[in-house]
Chains A and B, each alone.
Chain A
């Protein structure tokens, strides 16, 4: 009754091609954006920014990147942590080598560098598939982390190999280091994520997305109808790495403020982002956000509930959190193997029929 497609008549190509064809969806997205841009900054403080919203948004962006590669193009990758590291370290090099550079350009440069590195490691993808590609990307992960430990040039010859962020502005607003206002940092990350999410949404429903999905569903058939698998796989690697690179730069520059290749961008990150898209939903933009929300926010929520709500000791809560986290992932995968995004689709189906389901 409230949410339906009947009565929607498309009278032009433009109307047929709009990104959200159902008006309720459009209003819903606008409402969410309004809350995110206006409502959330009202409650923003350091805790909400550094512990909740900024990590959630950054991981959404990383999950979005991996989803393009794995969810849409079907190329499994465990190199996410390494590509995040490339983003983080290249942003550091750009920030310290070119102090006048605007933060937006730094992010663009970090993304572009990571895209190049992604292309390089994507080269073997025509020859190897499935689990063998996983092994190749895993090698990328370990190689990149090792490289950032080994070559002191990447961390400007610091005594410890740590990189620390320096104050930089984006369009005249200070966005890095602790001196930046949490609201500004949040809005900065939010704007970037919104732009990238819209770009991704448009990419995956356009020509590139369809070709990626054709490769994913059956690469031989795709080749027979005239799609060049090599090019499409490589573009998927490049675009996905660009997203992940920007996320890596944001992790270092806006969220943490200091990083170290193995600790911040280790193999754990690769798995974490992979879990996000599996739990959220492979091949879904919405799924990237839902997965990131689940993986980033669930532990913090559980901890706050157990320690502050039930007065448990921090260590007991931590043990329960680890257990509950694993159980919840298994629970969701059993109940809905296609991820949280599929749950939303089912809800949408039900809403269409409501209130007369039969």
Chain B
């Protein structure tokens, strides 16, 4: 249902007066709006501060154009638009029908007759789009609205004209992994045949309630889309061969939309004849409830310190857009979807969510074993131009807070209570935040006022690099304490770590681009946080054009060594140690058989060694990079997960066995877990070690292994797949599966 306007919603967009909110997010808000003559429309806006970036204004215009191409039979008919307004907007018909995902949630899997009618009608929609040389590229259940007269395809945020790489260059060429075509997943051209693949996936979802390649993290989905067969269990038998053909990995073997339509449906009857009762009742409800909306505007909150505050500086806009547009995490539990629009990429945002994000819906503790648990959006992914980069949300332990960096926001959560202290929309890439005990530093930019002569000039202009402290009491970014005119604010910049008052970071010089450019130059540098002085700058090898693999996977400082795992241009992982005083590389060792995704985790080091798992377990001497010991010799053929240090031992999960404790100095096995349960332990999750127990994930639970008896002792139910110790609170913080939770560390 629509919700009331809030006090600072505009009173008019051109001739349209907003009367209610349909939904909102970081990019903008969608309103139900009305003209003086009583015409009622859905009106989609883009926040003015985001629109201050011409590249995104352009994108907004292109989305409007794509919606016009598809027209009102197969899409939400565009009524009016002003992409040049300070707050750009476009108005479409208010579509009376739920998105397909909601429909399936409501009715369960749809009957075959519905699936066939839906498929045939979508073939018509795609056929029309393709005939106009437009490829949708993000066809998915939330982008298809089911009306009584047929489906309508919406949300052309990433649709583009075939052969037009303009949008790609501003970095929004992404899709939804669950419904992506294999060619899109591998970063190749997604053509009309790619839309056919996505359509078939969508029909599998309609028929079974499950996406054809399952759920899960984007990296897994991308893999399965490319290399595994779809799960067609539950698809009606008569549809199997047809859908299997559409889901062929080879785009040239997939049928055309015209042929597919003829095989799906004979065109008999009306569309409504093929819909289940519950879905029809929902359509009828929507058709009626829109007439019960009473214009209503909430008063300004009394504690609002400055209702006339100017919008946030424009310097954040581009990064915000890239992130939001790229379908990254919004660390918000959406407060419900509404009306005619799919909110997936508009969900969540500071302007529109009365509650902070993550939402502070504290769940009953009894059921969960946790001290507290709050709902957050899935710590999802950042998908870059070639669609393969997977970068999770980041957890930091700062003072008495847990700082969750996810999507485009920083969230401060009290480690003691789980209460949200603040949420900041100082937009950040998750990898551009570093923390140390009670300090958070952001790698950011300063707006130098550059205005390009054309949209493309502006899109490639990069602002100077800046560093700013983030006030963890108020939850706001301070003014940058230093800026560097010879370095630029680029998406691939990285904050590595803070040690002894020095921030180590990666920064580049060159044009703004999503993905590396061979024309850019890249450096590691060290900056004194107190004085802003740059201590040293050391060059990095060039990245190949359009790569989106960040340089560093993990880094930390031990003594006067900056220890890091780096990803080379060829995808191999190297352990590299630099001198913290000069930046000189002391040694660089390639780690065979380690995949970058496996080790994008905090480093495990002590004064002597760097410990690496994810395969054999090995200890590298910090002094010269030599192998101090390797499990291959003591326990040949065994596979280990990620290690953890604690209480004088190194712990790691051994595949098929469970937790094993090693002597860190020699690699000698001290003990191994008792009982058979450890065989199920998860190798991807690093253990966490407390004074009396080491904790590892197995099944849906985090199990505590007694460090004295070496047997599993107790467990906590958790959806988390990443665990961090919060020392001050004495807690294990778990993130994953839509929840952030805290468990006692013992």
**A and B: interacting chains:** no
Binding site for B on A (CB under 8 A): none
- Could you tell me which B residues sit within 8 Å of A by CB distance? none
